[in-house]
A and B are shown apart, each in its own frame.
Chain A
Amino acid sequence: MDFQRIVFGVNPRRTAIRVAVVVATAIVTFTWILIPVRAQGISMLPTYDSGSLKLVSRVTYKVRAPRRGDVVAIRLAGPGVLYLKRIVGLPSERVAIREGVVHINENPLPEPYVRHRKPWEVDEATLGPREYFVIGDNRGMLARDHDFGRVDTARIVGKVLF
């Protein structure tokens, strides 16, 4: 009887409802609202250290479109592995990288979050109506070691909050 009271509480029905509410809230929150992710790798240095825990909001882009400067989570085959990258180019813009500096429609983009730059060169390309151009903040890497480029809107899972 004591064991039963410890496990199910004084009022087992109320305990079951409480547990169900907590579980349902956790499932809804961490499936459809906030996704916890662990940053791995150096491509977002110095903004995010490898191993740091981040929360991705899945609701931000239901309210508004992604903006330049947002750090976004991008899905690969599914939500189990995500790229964390910063948006530098918006749909229909022309993007190029010259001497490591991102140019949008021929104008250099101020990027205070970038500390070191290698002289990356990327030919100008016009983004599609559903495409964003994304890069990590660590431009001190060699371009060939860094995953960056155009991404379709459908792959953007959400905005990285903190």
Chain B
Amino acid sequence: MGGGRTAAIGLAAIAIAAVAWLFWPEGDEGAIRRRLHALAEEANTPTDNGLGTIAKAARMGDYFTEQVLVEPGAGSEPISGRDTVIGMATRLRQATGPAIVDLKDLTVEKRAGSNIVDVTLTVTFTRRDSRTSEQTMDAREFGLEVQKEGGEWRIARVVAVDTLR
């Protein structure tokens, strides 16, 4: 009976810890993670008409600073400016077809004495071939610089990491 009581107290402690974890106030790291996952979710939302595509592009633009810089990796020129980046991403999506975007291994690290936060992550792109129904997955590693602008965390720089060079 004593052992049963101990186990019950242990379970109750775990339950209290889980509740506390769920309702603990969100810090900067949590806010950035939530923001990036929301961006991925936005990217995965299907659009079926031109107006929807424009609205989606505008919503996605909100996740980036106006002067965002994207460095796609060796052999490709950097792209700068929110409108250019979103325009290119939209055209790329139209050319390659829809893909499910997912974020993995996301780490957030605040720079000392700066309002810039460094994020590293792996982005996976899962596509289904319309002819064969075969599913393929591509993965790419990125480094991001995220900063608070207008009360929201926005991506200021995207660097594609060449895992294999």
Q: Are B3 and A78 in contact, with the CB atoms below 8 A?
A: no
Within the complex, the shortest CB–CB distance from A90 to chain B, in Å, comes to: 16
A13 at the interface (CB under 8 A from B): yes
Q: Which single member of A77, A85, A148 contacts B105 (CB below 8 Å)?
A: A77
Task: Given A12-B6, A77-B120, verify A41-B163 contact (CB < 8 Å).
Answer: no
Q: Are A81 and B104 in contact, with the CB atoms below 8 A?
A: yes
Cα-based distance from A74 to B141 in the complex (angstroms): 12
Closest 7 pairs (CB-CB, A-B): A78-B105, A12-B3, A149-B164, A80-B104, A76-B141, A77-B105, A77-B122
Q: Are B122 and A76 in contact, with the CB atoms below 8 A?
A: yes
> Number of residues in A with C-beta < 8 Å to the partner?
26
> Number of residues in B with C-beta < 8 Å to the partner?
26
B121 at the interface (CB under 8 A from A): yes
Cα-based distance from A92 to B39 in the complex (angstroms): 42
Total A-B pairs, Cβ < 8 A: 73
A48 at the interface (CB under 8 A from B): no
Chain A residues, CB < 8 A from B137:
40-41
Q: Are A76 and B136 in contact, with the CB atoms below 8 A?
A: no
Known contacts A76-B163, A77-B141; 16 further A-B pairs (Cβ under 8 A): A11-B3, A12-B3, A12-B4, A12-B7, A41-B136, A50-B134, A76-B141, A77-B104, A77-B106, A80-B104, A81-B105, A81-B139, A149-B162, A149-B164, A151-B164, A155-B163
Cα-based distance from A92 to B124 in the complex (angstroms): 32
Within the complex, the shortest CB–CB distance from B97 to chain A, in Å, comes to: 15
Shortest Cβ distance from A51 into B: residue:
B135
Chain A residues, CB < 8 A from B121:
77
Q: Which single member of B122, B124, B134, B164 contacts A150 (CB below 8 Å)?
A: B164
